[in-house]
Amino acid sequence: MPTALFSVSDKTGLTDLARGLYALEWDFLASGGTAAHLRAAGLPVQEVADYTASPEILGGRVKTLHPAVHGGLLARPSDKDQADLARIGARPIDLVVVNLYPFRETVARPDVTLEEAIENIDIGGVALIRAAAKNFARVVVLTAPSDYPAVLTELQNGGVRPETRRRLAVKAFAHTAAYDTAIYAYLSKATAETLELYPVQTLRYGENPHQAATLFSWVPGSGPLGGELLQGKPLSYNNILDLDAAWRAVVSFTRPTVVIVKHLSPCGIASADTLAEAYPPALASDPISAFGGIIAANRPFDEATSTRILENKHFVECIIAPGFSEGARRLLARKKDLRLLSMPDLKIEPLQEYRSVVRGVLRQGVDLGDPPESEWQVVTGRPPTEQEWQALRFAWKAVQHAKSNAIVFVQEEATVGIGSGQPNRVDCVRIAAERAGDKARGAVMASDAFFPFPDSVEEAAKAGITAIIQPGGSRRDNLSIEAAEAHDMAMVFTGVRHFRH
């Protein structure tokens, strides 16, 4: 009979796997706690300590480190290896199911002690995984419950395929590598330098049809962006990029907010008491660019907002939100090609960003913030009015999500003009003014970085801007302040730049 060895901390799916193997007449070995779990499910199992005639010692620190176990894993089908097993009274082990002590979960607790962290460094489990993975030509190694059903199905249909064995071995070595990296990171107080990624979806193509593309996740079994695609065709490479940009923007607002993104650039952002009230001004900010764009919302998408989209005959590629009401799904189902991506929460994870460059990768922390508003400075003689303050706060949040050199014009809590992605800032002011048209009169302006010259302030004044918010810090700040004063504009410095390249 074939033999399976179980030693798991996470017992998810274990009973179903073991019952399936038992029906195929497998024998079971297991470490103490796992053996007790299987017995409680009514399954026969021999404890490793009884099999090796060597009891667990050191409070469980040594359980499976024994020649009868590792010989059974590493033995090849050769006569010599089989004779060695017979000499020590051991037998081949054909499948290993192991997951490791929850080290990462343990050290993530704010109150964890060094002693607790040390005790959660798995030794025997890592050795089992590596031995089984090394001998993948004969041994199947399972480190993730998500792989249990597929392997059981293959066994029920004649045996695990060689390509599956190899894939699982590669996954096992990646698992132990990431585990060791997490230990190194904790003990050295360093940030882990090894990236562990899991394939989510092979995409039809990349940015263009001649480019191959794949979506990966930090979490095995995850959906796109950690969400669930409820409707529509599979997401494309460009869809995913735009969804990411829209989601990062919308979750930075606390009030009900709608963000519309096209080609990685916001073309409309608005907040209101409800999503249905926020959607029209977001669309009105740049309705031409919004055609074929992405809509993001930071509240569950409702029937009223869905109705407005249909009434406007707004062609949308995707909508991303933390859930969709039954009414919204019923209405949006009319647009069969429209993708709906439901997100589990409003988090941005991880708090690191990566970008590939030629022969390397750049990493940076996510741009999360600003100093408190109490540290902002009014640098003109005229302070902003209460109405301008409201618009400036919104504009400062919105400008952080547009491509540099970013300029946004805002009325109340809605963008009316966005200029971004140009090599010089004054052109972005002109683009924002052109998009805003008459709505620029009485609007406020935000700039993601300082003005090197007063020309942007002059262009803003021509458009009818009454107040400006920007980081400050230029050697010629005094010239921009003087230009603002000359046009009776209020100006606020935040002290923080928000480039987005």
pLDDT tens, 434-490? Answer: 999 999 999 999 999 999 999 999 999 999 999 999 999 999 999 999 999 999 999
- Count of structural domains, the chain: 3
Residue 365: predicted pLDDT: 86
Among 11, 134, 233, 487, the active-site one is 134
- Report the C-alpha gap between 171 and 141 in whole angstroms: 9
Compute the residue count for the chain: 501
Average pLDDT score over the chain:
90
In a domain, residue 218? The reply is no
In a domain, residue 134? The reply is yes
Catalytic (active site) residue 263: yes
Residue range 153-208, pLDDT digits in tens: 999 998 888 999 999 998 898 888 888 887 887 777 645 456 777 888 899 999 99
Tell me: do 378 and 320 sit in the same domain: no
Q: Domain with 429 in it: what CATH number? A: 3.40.140.20
Residue range 260-294, pLDDT digits in tens: 999 999 999 999 999 999 999 999 999 999 999 99
Q: 473: exposed, middle or buried (C-beta count within 10 Å: 0-12, 13-18, 19+)? A: middle
Among 11, 233, 263, 487, the active-site one is 263
In a domain, residue 19? The reply is yes
Tell me: do 172 and 266 sit in the same domain: no
Catalytic (active site) residue 189: no
Tell me: do 184 and 265 sit in the same domain: no
Tell me: do 319 and 458 sit in the same domain: no
In a domain, residue 107? The reply is yes
In a domain, residue 206? The reply is no
Tell me: do 276 and 181 sit in the same domain: no
Residue range 303-319, pLDDT digits in tens: 999 999 999 999 999 99
Residue range 218-254, pLDDT digits in tens: 877 788 999 999 999 999 999 999 999 999 999 999 9
Tell me: do 380 and 338 sit in the same domain: no
Strands 339-342 and 228-231, bridge-based pairing = antiparallel
For residue 101, name the pLDDT band (cuts at 50, 70, 90). confident
Sign of CA dihedral 447, 404, 346, 309: positive
Q: Domain with 8 in it: what CATH number? A: 3.40.50.1380
Q: Which residues of 38-64 are buried (b: 16+ CB within 10 A; e: fewer)?
A: beeeebebebbbebbebebeeeeeebb
In a domain, residue 295? The reply is yes
Residue span of the structural domain in which 250 resides: 232-342
- Report the C-alpha gap between 295 and 340 in whole angstroms: 10
Contacts of 254 (CB under 8 A, 6+ apart): none
> Could you tell me the CA-to-CA distances from 198 to 202, 217, 397 in Å, in that order?
12, 5, 33
Amino acid letter for position 292: G
What's the whole-number mean pLDDT along residues 329-346?
94
- Report the C-alpha gap between 127 and 320 in whole angstroms: 43
pTM, to two decimals: 0.68
Tell me: do 164 and 242 sit in the same domain: no
Q: Is the peptide bond before 405 cis (omega within 30 degrees of 0)?
A: yes
Tell me: do 132 and 178 sit in the same domain: yes
